[in-house]
């Protein structure tokens, strides 16, 4: 958030004062001593999946594109041949040798001519560039074998345009057998740029095979092979309480064989076969089950674990009954991997993978968007999972992805992708929802305006929608926007808009991101009664309080092009501090937005306002999301 300069502050005041206050000024009555519902403490969280290069080329810190050569016709695109001077080399995919049984192929580099001043090998340009910063330590590794024992491989970070070397090291002593080698690259005064590539070269004729070539920059909390720092910082500012993982469509896969098969995503990389995701590219599975859980731990969130439930996107399904039993067992094992102590089979496996302590888990989701299943098998599939999970883990809350017959799920996951007009229209969607049924998890929602990231119009729609979720958070226990991430480089995106944008080097939060930061950082513990009388259309509000902290949070969304005065009357307040804080997110036009070039075009601004007593008029800027924080 930024603080207003004096000039901007005076401008805002002038704007706020613009409309004449008449007898028609709408009134907003807040019954501060009349709580009507509890606010769910876990209301705001994150939804994640491998889409738009969210992990590979996103939050997962790996800098090397296709570190394991893929199985498609273009597998070599990420690994161009390098032959400097008079050297000669041929690069191919070798399906006959790989460092472990899980991997089916490797990169074969046959160098027929090379010398110290004419090296040859391969290069990798990373995910739309390899970002390099000065005085930084990069840690790397690769598996390799050669037909010339003792061979040395030079690893270089080289500028794409100038050929300047940012860092270089030599890995010696390759053998005829596959072995993993580690290396470190230290940059000096290299200028900050993402226009770098990694070179693996040799200086004599030889054939060398590579696999799992990796390079990591410093990561969040220094976690080895962990997450990208800037993106984690953006997420931390959202104060998320949970992470819905691993999808979305990514959980289901296009086919059953392409599902998120959690067991194949744990342990050493060499034991992870990688898999085809549904969003057009292959996943390295570097972001495996344990890495998701580490991510949760780093941001103090709880996982909301979605388990594969026997339905994949192209329509394949598994019938309930004996055929489904192995999948149910798989889910039970997965839950044990997350929560079991080290005396359990999968808890011990997790300890072996480096995390002896169990992770907290309260929610398990069975499948994803099973209303798409034309075989109508979800009633049976859900019941089978629900029964088995409840029997073994009676305290877990089970989430269904659509209403089911025969069993009452604890929670139902509802998804809403809306235009801004639809978000405004749906702001009261949950006001009348039956309180006796299952709780609601809005596991995916977004106002879809703007690309690649949402614009201010979207943020206004989001804010209107969020007032409704917050007001009803006795029943709406959790909510998460989707999709969360987009790599904004051409060709990286499959879905727009997405909350947070980035390239290899930089990142930014969209106006919708800032809306969520505003709502999540002013959550409160109870909803209090409030009445907005004769307000024009496209004005929305909700009020919460935190009694222990003596704070009242009044959220007002003005989605109109004109400033909106409201005559605010606080009832039931014995004491009121003479100054309140008004935080506002606004812009001049609905399509105002943020981007890599202008990351701060639409960000919240904060100002103090005098409050003389419980009745005062406040004018809210055009196209604005506001939080007024009052205390006694």
Binding site for ligand AHR (CB under 6 A): 49, 247-249, 368-369, 444, 482-483, 495
Instruction: State which residue, 68 or 368, has the beta carbon closest to ligand AHR.
Output: 368
Which of 328-338 are b and which e, b meaning 16 or more Cβ less than 10 Å from the residue's Cβ? Answer: bebbbbbbbbb
Q: How far is the CB of 468 from ligand AHR (least distance, A)?
A: 20
Torsion angle (degrees, nearest 10) of CA 277, 278, 280, 283: -10
Q: Considering only CA atoms, which of 450, 481, 451 is closest in space to residue 463?
A: 481
- N- to C-terminal Cα separation, the chain: 24
Instruction: State which residue, 466 or 482, has the beta carbon closest to ligand AHR.
Output: 482
Q: What percentage of the chain's residues is helix, strand, coil (to nearest 5)?
A: 20, 35, 45
Angle at which helices 325-339 and 289-298 pack, to 10 degrees? 40
Q: Considering only CA atoms, which of 604, 606, 598 is closest in space to residue 508?
A: 598
- Kindly list the distances between the CA atom of residue 301 and the CA atoms of 76, 244, 479, in Å, as whole numbers in the listed order: 39, 10, 13
- 308 touches 381 (CB < 8 A): no
Instruction: State which residue, 181 or 495, has the beta carbon closest to ligand AHR.
Output: 495
Find tokens 């990231």 and name the residue.
Answer: 453
Q: How far is the CB of 12 from ligand AHR (least distance, A)?
A: 36
Judge residue 485's burial from the number of C-beta atoms within 10 Å of its C-beta, 0-12 exposed, 13-18 middle, 19 or more buried: buried
Instruction: State which residue, 249 or 284, has the beta carbon closest to ligand AHR.
Output: 249
Q: Considering only CA atoms, which of 568, 601, 605 is closest in space to residue 584?
A: 605
Task: Please give the full DSSP string across 425-445, using - where no structure is assigned.
Answer: HTTTTTTT--TTS-EEEEEEE
Q: How far is the CB of 146 from ligand AHR (least distance, A)?
A: 43
Q: How far is the CB of 60 from ligand AHR (least distance, A)?
A: 18
Angle at which helices 378-392 and 325-339 pack, to 10 degrees? 40
Number of Cβ within 10 Å of residue 375's Cβ equals 14
Instruction: State which residue, 49 or 62, has the beta carbon closest to ligand AHR.
Output: 49
Q: How far is the CB of 402 from ligand AHR (least distance, A)?
A: 12
Instruction: State which residue, 486 or 592, has the beta carbon closest to ligand AHR.
Output: 486
Instruction: State which residue, 258 or 369, has the beta carbon closest to ligand AHR.
Output: 369
Q: How far is the CB of 283 from ligand AHR (least distance, A)?
A: 14
Q: How far is the CB of 398 from ligand AHR (least distance, A)?
A: 18
Instruction: State which residue, 105 or 282, has the beta carbon closest to ligand AHR.
Output: 282
Shortest Cβ contact with ligand AHR: which residue?
A: 248
């Amino acid at each position: 958030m930024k603080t207003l300069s004096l000039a901007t502050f005076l401008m805002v005041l002038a704007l706020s004062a613009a409309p004449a206050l008449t007898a028609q000024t709408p009134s907003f009555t807040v019954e501060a001593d009349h709580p009507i519902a509890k606010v769910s403490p876990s209301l705001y969280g994150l939804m994640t999946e491998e889409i738009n290069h969210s992990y590979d080329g996103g939050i997962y810190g790996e800098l090397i594109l296709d570190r394991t050569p893929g199985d498609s016709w273009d597998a070599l695109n990420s690994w161009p041949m390098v032959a400097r001077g008079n050297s000669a080399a041929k690069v191919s995919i070798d399906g006959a040798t790989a460092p472990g049984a899980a991997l089916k192929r490797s990169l074969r580099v046959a160098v027929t001519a090379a010398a110290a001043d004419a090296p040859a090998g391969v290069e990798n340009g990373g995910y739309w560039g390899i970002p390099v910063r000065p005085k930084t330590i990069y840690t790397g590794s690769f598996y390799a074998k050669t037909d010339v024992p003792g061979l040395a491989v030079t690893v270089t970070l080289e500028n794409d345009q100038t050929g300047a070397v940012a860092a270089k090291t030599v890995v010696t002593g390759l053998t005829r057998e596959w072995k993993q080698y580690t290396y470190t690259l230290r940059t000096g005064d290299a200028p900050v740029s993402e226009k770098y590539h990694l070179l693996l070269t040799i200086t004599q004729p030889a054939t060398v095979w590579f696999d799992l070539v990796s390079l990591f920059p410093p990561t969040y909390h220094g976690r080895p092979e962990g997450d990208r720092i800037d993106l984690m910082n953006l997420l931390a500012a959202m104060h998320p309480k949970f992470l819905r993982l691993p999808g979305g469509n990514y959980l289901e896969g296009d086919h059953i064989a392409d599902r998120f098969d959690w067991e194949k995503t744990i342990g050493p990389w060499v034991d992870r076969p990688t898999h085809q995701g549904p969003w057009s590219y292959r996943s390295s599975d570097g972001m495996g089950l344990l890495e998701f859980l580490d991510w949760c731990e780093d941001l103090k969130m709880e996982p909301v674990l979605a388990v594969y439930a026997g339905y994949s996107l192209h329509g394949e399904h598994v019938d309930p009954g004996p055929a489904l039993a192995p999948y149910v067992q798989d889910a039970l094992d997965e839950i044990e991997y997350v929560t079991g102590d080290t005396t359990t089979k999968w808890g011990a496996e997790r300890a072996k993978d480096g995390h002896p302590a169990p992770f907290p888990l309260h929610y398990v989701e069975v499948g994803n968007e099973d209303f798409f299943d034309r075989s109508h098998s979800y009633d049976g599939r859900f019941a089978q999972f629900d029964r088995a999970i409840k029997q073994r883990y009676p305290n877990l809350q089970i989430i269904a992805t659509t209403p089911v017959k025969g069993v009452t799920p604890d929670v139902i996951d509802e998804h809403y992708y809306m235009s801004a007009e639809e978000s405004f229209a749906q702001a009261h969607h949950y006001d009348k929802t039956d309180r006796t049924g299952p709780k609601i998890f809005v596991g995916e929602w977004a106002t879809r305006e703007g690309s690649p990231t949402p614009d201010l119009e979207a943020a206004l729609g989001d804010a209107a929608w969020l007032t409704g979720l917050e007001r009803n958070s006795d029943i709406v226990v959790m909510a998460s926007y989707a999709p969360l991430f987009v790599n904004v480089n051409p060709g990286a995106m499959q879905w727009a808009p997405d909350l947070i944008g980035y390239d290899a080097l930089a990142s930014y939060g969209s106006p919708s991101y800032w809306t969520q930061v505003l709502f999540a950082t002013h959550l409160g513990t109870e909803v209090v009664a409030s009445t907005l009388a004769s307000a024009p259309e496209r004005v929305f509000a909700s009020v919460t309080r935190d009694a222990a902290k003596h704070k009242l949070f009044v959220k007002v969304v003005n989605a109109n092009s004109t400033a909106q005065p409201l005559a605010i009357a606080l009832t039931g307040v014995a004491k009121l501090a003479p100054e309140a804080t008004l935080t506002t997110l606004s812009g001049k036009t609905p399509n105002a937005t943020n981007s890599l070039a202008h990351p701060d075009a639409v960000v919240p601004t904060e100002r103090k306002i005098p409050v003389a007593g419980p009745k005062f008029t406040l004018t809210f800027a055009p196209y604005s999301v506001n939080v007024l924080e009052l205390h006694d």
